[in-house]
A and B are shown apart, each in its own frame.
Chain A
Amino acid sequence: MSRLSKKSPSLCTDLPLDNADICKKLDLLRQLLRSCFGPTGRLKQVHNNIGGHVVTTSTSSVLLPAISSSQPFINLIKTSILNHVSRFSDCGLFAAILCLSLIEQAKQSGLRGNVAIRVNKHLLGLCTSYLQGEDCGCKVKLDFCSSQSLITLARSVISSKPTCVLTEPETLHISRLAVQAFLLTVPCSSPGIVSLGKIVTVSVEGHGVLNSTVFPGVLLDMPDVFTIDKVENLPSDALRMVLFSASLAGDLSELGDGIIEVHPGVDTDSQILDQLLELGKQVVKDEVKLFVCQKVIHPVLQQYLRGHGIIVIERLGITLMEPLTQLTGAQPVATLHTTIPAKAYGRVRDLRIRTFGSKTMLHLHPPGECAICTMILCHRNETMLSELKVVCQKTEHVLRLTLREPSALLGGGCTETHLAAYIRHKSMNEIPETVSALGCSQTECLLGVEGFCRSLEAVAAALEHDGGSSLMDLTHAHHWSHPADVLTEHMGDSLGSCGCGLVESSPNQKWTYLNSKYPQFSPAPLSEDASVQPRVLDSFTAKLNALQVAVETANLALDVRYLIQDVN
């Protein structure tokens, strides 16, 4: 007899953002992500409760997937941030902190939900049109004639993750490599549609960062040292190669589940092996010199191929398949049951053995021009290396985005403070139009603007983690930070330059603490001085999208009236 248990009714929360528990959780998430932000951010150790592998990180793309919550709000925010990160790689923490600040500010202002939403939406429109406009004061055009601004952009991304534990020269070295690798993926002379190449990343643990390097072409792992002797005296002209995506292990694993009925006398293993050897014979006949398989190759086939002077590489892994097909022009063979068509073969030239620490690798060059390169990343330990790898991939993505939109935003919090000052000024001047357009009172509108601007400033202030204070100058509205431990009568003495490095402190400059009242002003554009280059740059495309994601996610969260949870 089965027992019926009564279904418990669904749980409904009215106005969930007024719920203390939910607010506490959102605040905790905000603290958690805020403390990760920027080059002096704090790290998080992610591990499971039974003592699994510990991941140390401050990157949103690593940290957020580890976070799971019973709270739909947390999951909502997490999902939209991760979605942004998967498309743009950068500015994930920016979006998350801004989104959570906007929610918090909207609640604190006591505005009706829909008013806050309308104001936010309006201000987002102002922001995007300002950022995309020609006269934007916090945007710089990227100059592709020199690699300097690209290196600065790369450097800003790389130095924003302290888990990498890089010294100043190491950061510069990696930034240069990232730009070099990026430039190698841009094809030189291809008419028509340009398709970018790929950067293959190989990580080598236990070596200094300065040993990292970039090679054109692909490097494949060669774990089996028995084969090396023969490779050394290979001709450097183009060789024929074959690439398999099918497993050549000699098993029937690709058949899928289900029951197979066989006759007792049938030896499936040896039959497949015969098939494999047939394949081997064809490859030898077709004068293939390099045999690569994504998966495992049966040892008997390996022995056969090596016996005929062919270099065999197995267990290539899925990530290298696409770069290798691009490099060699080979088409991956997905079956072992037909003869290999001639057009499936690819070509490589200049095989060379390279060793990095414990790794022995085979270096392949393309037969013609090809935009594939390999980045060897070295670091002293696994934790730092894995973060460095993530950061470098992020940098590659950010650099690619510059091809679509060759601009960058001033970093170091300057864009945020500048934007906040601009919005304050602009919306003040246009208040009657705004009020009538949004259908709210002037007080409500002002409250909404204040909340939005404070949220932007809160992101800039999030860069500070050591008790220092965040300031903004009252001319250009750039972001400045003042360390907690320096006591001077004159504030200007200890400030040096602003977050992005474009503005130097001068005696007649005035500052205000962030999140304090100041008279609104129109931020002055910077004088066109070519000798001063910004020290920190952020990706334009990523930040613009992050801004939109943050505001829209916050608006969605503010729009939630009921939370209905099925507790069964």
Chain B
Amino acid sequence: MLGSTIINHRQHVGLQKLAALAGITHSSLGPNKKYKFIQDEASGESALVCSCFRIFENLELSCAVGQLVHETIQAHQKVYHTGSGCLLFLAGAWSRAALECLQRGIPVPHIISALSEGMDICVDVCRKSSVSTEGLDVEPSESFNAKSHALGFLLSKKPNVEASQASHNLQETSTVGLKTLNGSRQRQIKLSRHFYEARSENVSTVTQPDHPKLPDIAHIAKGLSHGCVDAMNLVVEASRVQSKNHPGNISCSTFDVTKVMTCVLPGLPEEHACVLPGCVVLVSDEQASVAHHLKEQSLRVALINGDLSDTYRHLGFKKLTGVQCVSDQSEFTSSSKDKEWMEKIVALLLNLGVNLILVSGLVREEVIQRCCRHHILAVEKVKASVLRAFAKATGAVPVTYATQLSRHCVGVGVKAEIWRDLSSYDGKPLITVNISTVENSELVTVILSSCVHGKLQAMEDRFWACAYRLHHMLEDKVLLPGAGVTEMLCVHHLQREAEKHVKHHRERNRDSAANPYRGEVLNLIADGLLDYISTVMVNTGRFSKVKAMTAARQQLQNNNESLDAKFSQLSLEGEEEDSGVSLLIQSSKAPAVQIYDNLSVKQEAWRKALDLVVLVLQTDAEVITGIDQTSDDTQEKLMLL
């Protein structure tokens, strides 16, 4: 059966749902996140969640909009690991904007074209206000004096000096017509005593563009921590360990997020969090004793991509169901077959001299024990990326079946040692073994611990969010000024564009191709961003919603006034866009930490939010399949076909 609901036009139910769903996650926005309990009334189970992504993972939403939101957030989280809260908040804010447009009677095609134009404006602002990471590797040498207190409180994540500096530089370079990074470097070099030397260096970098200078990770990371200072410290430490073990250049700092793994130790205080080179896993007592036996040996390693068991078959293998054994004896039972397999495998492993097997799938307890008896350490549930790292570092070839193993599949140069025996803390066996390669490995394990079990997932999520922020920074090679500065700039530009259009429109309203509602919609998009800024301020706990909103608007007003004066001088040059940054920041107190945002993450989150709104806005009906017409609880409002 099929039902269909017609969504009322002026009160678009889909947009209302989207706005309501976004409301759930307001408190998990910004650096001061609040935990939420999600309780299942039926089973009495509950989950402690902190991020927008986890909230939706734990909610079972059956409505179409809920599903769409969930799918969008999952897709975003899978790639970026951060920014889902921003995505959902703006989806909510902009769906309210779209609702407002509908209430004002603006036709849908006009709303959509103006929304997409607004996004183009924002993306353009992001592009222009982005700061190259290369200019950020030195501590700021200038500091701005507090000219006004207006933005001193703008956010707890304070606006940064350096972004302004860099954007000054960008501004300068862009007027000269040099958009390269050398410009910004030069500017800093000018302040240096080694002016001439530096310059000659600068020339050499121009001739050798293949070796760009890598940014100072530790310094920038502070600005990307977004309130998770501890987690970010671990990320920086991981990067430091990786750089030290980097096979090539020793001096440069790198960060390869695919070679980072986490090991969660429940029950230990949080101070035990640390970073170790190699791959740290939790093992049983027997495995630990094998590890003890193997310490200080160079091990031969085999990598299994799958389960290590007799019955395991590769993906796509269909087992025969209707097999009957015809026999007059019944000596072959499954257990004897299993034993036979085990004999074969152990003999093979011993023959190849393997001391360590890393398995991506599962290994049965008996197999582990059997291996232990022959001093072979078998470790299960190893991530595929870790297997790949071991394959690369040791020359081992991952195989699906242990029977495939041959001499050239076995890698060499691995060591395993007990890192710490933590069993004494609460009686349960809790022994960690560190498996690392002698050389060429950038594998790093981050140990996370907490006395409160419920916090562990949130801690792990935070760590990965920080790790990926650093990763995206290195990929993008640019950063955005954080702490709401970018959003403020977008608001400023959107409002200016809206105003420009109104004037423009009055002059020649006979132009039928122009969108008469552009200004209105752009203003509403700007309001959504303002709402975002003020919500982050509210989450700091120091502002009420009203106060935050007024403060943000006031700040914007100040900027506009000062900009307008400047604007008349600059408008002819056409590259006045960056001036907003400096004004916003000049009026702030000298900040302690510089805050940055990821360019790609922010842009993608904004885009996804807007796409969601555009799709829902255009939807006027839900077609629900599989409704049982005969049951009485069919909802009244559904229309059945």
Contact B615 A43 (CB under 8 A): yes
Contact B326 A262 (CB under 8 A): yes
Interfacial chain B residues near A53, Cβ < 8 Å: 67, 71
Contact B622 A44 (CB under 8 A): yes
Query: Given A262-B325, A485-B107, does the pair A47, B64 have CB atoms closer than 8 Å?
Result: yes
Interfacial chain B residues near A40, Cβ < 8 Å: 108-109
Q: Give the shortest distance, in Å, between A253 (CB) and chain B (any CB).
A: 4
Number of residues from B at the complex interface, CB < 8 A = 73
Interfacial chain A residues near B14, Cβ < 8 Å: 45
Contact B1 A70 (CB under 8 A): yes
Specify which of A45, A74, A465 is in contact with B641 (CB 8 Å cutoff): A74
Q: Give the shortest distance, in Å, between A8 (CB) and chain B (any CB).
A: 14
A162 CB-CB contact with B under 8 Å: yes
Q: How far is the CA of A167 from the CA of B607 in the complex (A)?
A: 13
Interfacial chain B residues near A67, Cβ < 8 Å: 2, 623, 625, 641
Q: Give the shortest distance, in Å, between A160 (CB) and chain B (any CB).
A: 13
Query: Given A45-B623, A296-B315, does the pair A382, B71 have CB atoms closer than 8 Å?
Result: yes
List B residues 494-525 near A (Cβ within 8 Å). 510, 512-513, 516
B421 CB-CB contact with A under 8 Å: no
Q: How far is the CA of A263 from the CA of B66 in the complex (A)?
A: 55
Interfacial chain B residues near A162, Cβ < 8 Å: 112, 618
Contact A496 B512 (CB under 8 A): yes
Contact B623 A66 (CB under 8 A): yes
Contact A42 B2 (CB under 8 A): no
Q: How large is the interface on A (under 10, 10 to 19, 20 to 34, 35 or more residues)?
A: 35 or more
Specify which of B61, B318, B397, B615 is in contact with A51 (CB 8 Å cutoff): B61
Contact A268 B622 (CB under 8 A): no
Query: Given A31-B6, A299-B401, does the pair A249, B317 have CB atoms closer than 8 Å?
Result: yes
List A residues 156-178 near B (Cβ within 8 Å). 162-163, 165, 167
1/0 per position for B476-499, CB-CB distance to A under 8 A? 000000000000000000000000
List B residues 306-351 near A (Cβ within 8 Å). 313-320, 322-327, 329, 332
Contact A296 B317 (CB under 8 A): yes
Contact A466 B108 (CB under 8 A): yes
Q: How far is the CA of A255 from the CA of B321 in the complex (A)?
A: 11
Query: Given A45-B622, A50-B62, does the pair A484, B107 have CB atoms closer than 8 Å?
Result: yes
Q: How far is the CA of A261 from the CA of B320 in the complex (A)?
A: 11
A192 CB-CB contact with B under 8 Å: no
Question: Smallest CB-CB separation from B105: which chain A residue?
Answer: A485
Contact A43 B620 (CB under 8 A): yes
Specify which of B318, B403, B615, B640 is in contact with A163 (CB 8 Å cutoff): B615
Question: Smallest CB-CB separation from A255: which chain B residue?
Answer: B320
A32 CB-CB contact with B under 8 Å: yes
Contact B107 A300 (CB under 8 A): no
1/0 per position for A4-31, CB-CB distance to B under 8 A? 0000000000000000000001001101
Interfacial chain B residues near A50, Cβ < 8 Å: 62, 626
Q: Give the shortest distance, in Å, between A267 (CB) and chain B (any CB).
A: 9
List A residues 31-71 near B (Cβ within 8 Å). 31-32, 35, 40, 42-54, 56, 63, 66-71
Contact B624 A48 (CB under 8 A): yes
Contact B75 A381 (CB under 8 A): yes
Query: Which among B60, B324, B513, B640 has the greatest number of chain A C-beta atoms within 10 A?
Result: B640
Specify which of A42, A205, A298 is in contact with B314 (CB 8 Å cutoff): A298
A193 CB-CB contact with B under 8 Å: no
A383 CB-CB contact with B under 8 Å: yes
Contact B639 A28 (CB under 8 A): yes
Q: How far is the CA of A47 from the CA of B62 in the complex (A)?
A: 9
Q: Give the shortest distance, in Å, between A340 (CB) and chain B (any CB).
A: 22
A560 CB-CB contact with B under 8 Å: no
Q: How far is the CA of A67 from the CA of B627 in the complex (A)?
A: 11
B182 CB-CB contact with A under 8 Å: no
Q: Give the shortest distance, in Å, between A57 (CB) and chain B (any CB).
A: 9
**Can you spell out 12 A-B residue pairs with CB atoms less than 8 angstroms apart?**
A31-B6, A42-B619, A44-B621, A44-B622, A45-B14, A46-B622, A63-B623, A68-B1, A74-B641, A257-B322, A296-B314, A493-B510
Seen from chain B, the residues whose Cβ lies within 8 Å of a Cβ on chain A are: 1-2, 4, 6, 14, 60-68, 71-72, 75, 79, 105-109, 112, 116, 313-320, 322-327, 329, 332, 388, 391, 397-401, 403-404, 510, 512-513, 516, 607-608, 611, 614-615, 618-627, 629, 639-641
Closest 5 CB pairs of A and B: A296-B316, A51-B62, A299-B400, A466-B107, A42-B620
